[in-house]
Structure 1
Amino acid sequence: MLFPYRVIIVGAGLGGLALAHGLRGQGVDVAVYERDAHPDARPQGYRIQLDEPGLTGLRRCLPAPLFRLCLATAGAPPARVSVRNRRLEVLADRAAGGGSPETAGGSGAAGGSGGPGGAAGPYAFNRPTLRQIMLSGLTGHVHYGARLVDYRHEADGRVTARFADGRSATGDLLVGADGVHSAVRRLLLPGARVEDAGLRLVYGRIPLDARSRAGLPDWVFESIFTVITGGPGHPHLGVGPVELGARPEHAGLAQRPPAALSPVGDYLACMVGAPADHPAMPAFEELRELTPAALRDLALRVLGEDWHEDVHRLLARWDTHSLFPLRISTATPVPAWESGPVTLIGDAIHAMSPVLAMGANTAVRDAGELTRALGGAGDAPDPAGPLVAAVRAYEGRMREYAFAIVADSRRTGQRRVGQRERPRPLPR
């Protein structure tokens, strides 16, 4: 059924944009408010992995032509995840998404081999391309430079969001899709905690072409993701190939209507991680101020000399200008709260370590679950009204699946890459 309400979404990341598409497909009046001044205001990362249930959420939300364009521009590396030690001896190697989520960098969700145009996945997406595709279908619905400062409940049951620049927006439902530092979460659930997992990453990419690919070791292309670990409390390296099925700029122009997608070549996503208390690792505030060249020097210093020569050959090809730092965060479980016309999706409620590659998967799943719940609003009578009943149903499902994945990610991160056992609160 059509959902005859207006929905305000705070945050134009993948989860928020997927939700906007899903609701618009049901005739909902949607507006997305993003605090960044423009889509490219800050680094958004490079490779993300989607398999089930993320692909189901994406399919449920996006119009069919945009979903096909997403898959066409994705890569489908071998659906395996590998963990190796610093001498490149295999510690674990299994099908991506199969079985218990024991492997750093894996999926933890049911999946199988797939390819562009197929269904099951997993797929390696270039995150900026995926976001551009989603934005291309939301022209006029995304508003930038809008930093949420508060919201208020109106007498008629609606919600008004107020932004720092004086703008405001009123809707029947307000959805916080605004990430780890969610302003909506702080207002809705002031006791909910997101903690510093005690890991720092220097993240970048290695460009691939026929010549450079020929000079790289075969093992980097044999899995969708490979973690090379020095053991708990020691540095680690993560590598994931992104070899796109179609050039985005060409595939976008073939779309009807055309989608203007930025050119991008194949690459290896490559990150060096270390515990925050590593002797060579500065405080995160200092890390953020380092130049790309200084980040490269720091990563090499943190990693040290006693790693397989293949690792050093890989890092010699790092694109220095692509480097930026990340702090890994993890949420604590949140007890059930009283549902109402404000809710949360993605990292705004269940931030997690990336070791299971489930952060984006779960955010897009949230978008699909909330779309489905709202699409059925009114199917059963409820004293709170159809909207609140739908939100309550979504929140109950989301807490059950999402916080189980957060816990799995935490355990795997502690075992494989030294994620802190007793995380500390993030600074506000």
Structure 2
Amino acid sequence: MRIIIVGGGIGGLALATGLRRQEFDVQVFDRDLDVANTGGYHITLDGRAQAALRELVAPEIFERLLASASALRLRPPDALWDRHGRLLGYGPHLGDSPSVDIDRITLRTVLADAVGADLHLGRTVTEIGRATDSAPMAVFADGPPVRCDLLVGADGTHSVVARQLAGGPTSEPTGIIGFSGRTAADSIGAPERQRLGARSGMAVGPRATALYVGFLDPVGNAVLDVPGRREAITTGPTYIWGAMFPESAVSDSMRGLHGDALRTALLAAFRRRGWGERSLEVIARADPDSIAAFRFNAASTRSHDLAPWPAGPVTALGDAVHATPPTAGMGAGAAIRDAAGLVTQLRTVADGTTTLAVAVSRFEADMRLRGSEVLHQAMKTVRWIQLTDTGLGAAATGAVIPVLAAANRLGRRR
């Protein structure tokens, strides 16, 4: 069986790695010229995602990944702040958490190494065609089409493959624009570094403004203490943050900015909405070249809306099917679990116990449930933020949050 994967992101590379281990004939085509050409931010892999990854990659590859990851169990509980940096409360203890954080670039490059020569960069797929025997073909912007027995779209939120299968987009904008960046912990003043601590936190303000500040330290909070195998691009304590604004003419115009200009505009946008300077220091001290803008897109949370096409020799996975905002930190993990599920089903085709159509149908049924689950989690936070953009929501945010902050201060004094 010859398999083509369109898209060399995390889901596509994880799938290719798993298929190669099972000795399938697989080729991956991606439009990027460099696998490191991706957001330099971090993703969270929960226990289920790690179990799937362990099935897909060789033990030495899995060890390389864990040696480059940061353990959540070594962090204090997450914090919730108001826009002035006043503490509202803490999340649950993380001591029993199996989850790990890892740089997206690190994960993608290690998986690409595992795929090896089967990954073809600089190849843009423009559509899915059919050969004379109805077998699927990948049609490229340049070069002849390539025929296969199964074609898998792992080409992200704006997937060419899934759009063609569904007859239209498989996700839509949520109304929130995100901005993300990286800030070395030692570049922040001591008072703010002490306030933020070695934890992740979230601050929410009125009018759908929010700031998530994640903490990543693959050295101090290493999952595996194997320095010789560590490949993380983050080499010291780092705050990796994400700012959120409602989509508007102003936020849309900011998406066209870069570097210092984007950082300056971002700080100004927060200040216009009454955010305190203390909360903004992590942005003000960020590496300007790390700051990027992106739109929050989401698929339907209803499982029957996902992958709305008959099962056949063309399918898709990950964000191509269940595009998930980053507010739950589960999108990449879900794509990895999709990949493991598809490999499991294709093994039944290889051993002759089922047909390709049945295997793909079973895979898509499981993927719909998985995608709906992670979307429900991610959209809870999105909807909470959106509620603050109403008149009542803004008033409630402005009135209730200071009371919560005061109550928290009093509670800590007792």
- Range class of TM-score, shorter chain: 0.7 to 0.9
The answer for the alignment partner of 1:310 in structure 2 is 278
Equivalent residue, structure 1, for 2:82: 85
Report Cα offsets for 1:183-240 as digits up to 9, x if no partner: 001111114431111111221110235x7585643353353x3110104x33111111
Which residue is equivalent to 2:381?
Answer: 412
Aligned to 2:145: 168
> Aligned in 2, Cα 1:148/1:301: closer, same or farther, shift over 3 Å?
same
Aligned partners of 2:204 and 2:385 also within 8 Å:
yes
Return the letter of the residue paired with 1:275: P
Q: Which 10-residue stretch deviates more, 260-269 or 391-400?
A: 260-269
C-alpha contact 2:33 2:122 (8 A) present in aligned 1: yes
Query: Where does the alignment leave 5 or more consecutive residues of structure 1 unmatched?
Result: 97-111, 115-119, 422-428
Segment of structure 1 superposing worse, 371-380 or 44-53: 371-380
8 A contact 2:106–2:231 mirrored in 1: no
Asked if 1:63 is matched to 2:58, the reply is yes
Task: Report the structure number with the largest CA radius of gyration.
Answer: 2
The residue identity in structure 1 corresponding to 2:67 is: A
Residue of structure 2 in register with 1:196 after alignment: 173
Structure 1 contact 146–163 (Cα < 8 Å) conserved: yes
Q: Rate the CA distance shift 1:252–1:271 in 2: closer, same or farther, 3 A.
A: same
- Contact kept, 8 Å, 1:235 with 1:302, in 2: the verdict is no
Which residue of structure 2 aligns with residue 30 of structure 1? 26
- From 59, 71, 74, the equivalent of 1:76 is 71
Contact 1:83–1:93 (CA<8 Å) still a contact in 2? yes
Q: Is the 8 A contact 2:68 2:231 kept in 1?
A: no
Report if the CA contact (8 A) 2:53-2:336 is conserved. yes
TM-score (norm 1): 0.80
Whichever residue aligns with residue 85 of structure 1, its letter is D
Alpha-carbon distance in structure 2 between the residues aligned to 1:46 and 1:54: 18
SS in 2 for 1:15: helix
What secondary structure does 1:53 align onto? helix
What does residue range 215-364 of structure 1 map to in structure 2 within 5 Å? 216-223=192-199, 225-231=200-206, 233-245=207-219, 254=228, 264-277=235-248, 281-283=250-252, 286-304=253-271, 306-332=274-300, 333=302, 334=305, 336-364=308-336
Deviation per residue, 1:103-126 (Å, 9 max, x gap)? xxxxxxxxx647xxxxx6311111
Tell me what 1:103 maps to: none
| 8 Å CA contact 2:123, 2:141 repeated in 1 | yes
CA contact (8 A) 2:165 2:309 kept: no
Shift of 1:328: 0.8
Q: Distance in 2 between matches of 1:9 and 1:192?
A: 19
| Aligned 1:413-428 pairs, distance under 5 A | 413-416=382-385
When the two chains are superposed, the root-mean-square deviation of aligned CA atoms in Å is: 3.0
CA change 1:32–1:252 in 2 (3 A) is farther
Which 10-residue stretch deviates more, 361-370 or 187-196? 187-196
1:73–1:246 contact (8 Å) kept in structure 2: no
The runs of 5 or more residues in structure 2 that have no matched partner are 391-414
**Going by fraction, where is helix more abundant, 1 or 2?**
2
Matches within 5 A, 1:138-177: 138-156=115-133, 158-177=135-154
AA at the equivalent of 2:28 = V
Offset at 1:379?
A: 6.6
SS at match of 2:219: coil
3-state SS in 1 of match to 2:358? helix
Equivalence for 1:109:
none
Q: TM-score, normalised by structure 2?
A: 0.83
CA positional deviation for 1:403: 1.8
Opposite residue 228 of structure 1, the aligned amino acid is A
Q: Does 1:16 align with 2:12?
A: yes
Aligned length: 381
Aligned partners of 1:370, 1:36: CA distance in 2, in Å? 24
Decide whether aligned partners of structure 1 residues 132 and 418 sit closer, same or farther in structure 2, where only a CA change above 3 A counts. Answer: farther
* CA apart distance, 1:252: 10
- Is 1:124–2:108 an aligned residue pair? no
Q: Do 1:185 and 1:348's aligned partners in 2 also have CA atoms closer than 8 Å?
A: yes
Which amino acid in the other structure matches residue 373 of structure 1?
Answer: Q
Secondary structure in 2 matching 1:328: strand
- State the partner residue of 1:392: 361
- 1:247 CA drift (Å): 12
The range that moved more, 164-173 or 264-273, is: 264-273
Structure 2 residue identity aligned to 1:70: L
Query: Could you report, residue by residue, the CA deviation over 1:45-99 in whole angstroms, capped at 9, with x for unpaired residues?
Result: 4111111322122112111111111111111242744332224444453338xxx
Q: Distance in 1 between matches of 2:377 and 2:20?
A: 33
SS of equivalent to 1:325: strand
Alpha carbons of structure 1 residues 29 and 266: separation in structure 2 relative to 1, 3 Å: farther
* CA offset digits 1:299-345 (Å, max 9, x no partner): 11111174345313323321112111111111124264310011111
| Contact 2:69/2:101, CA 8 A, preserved across alignment | yes
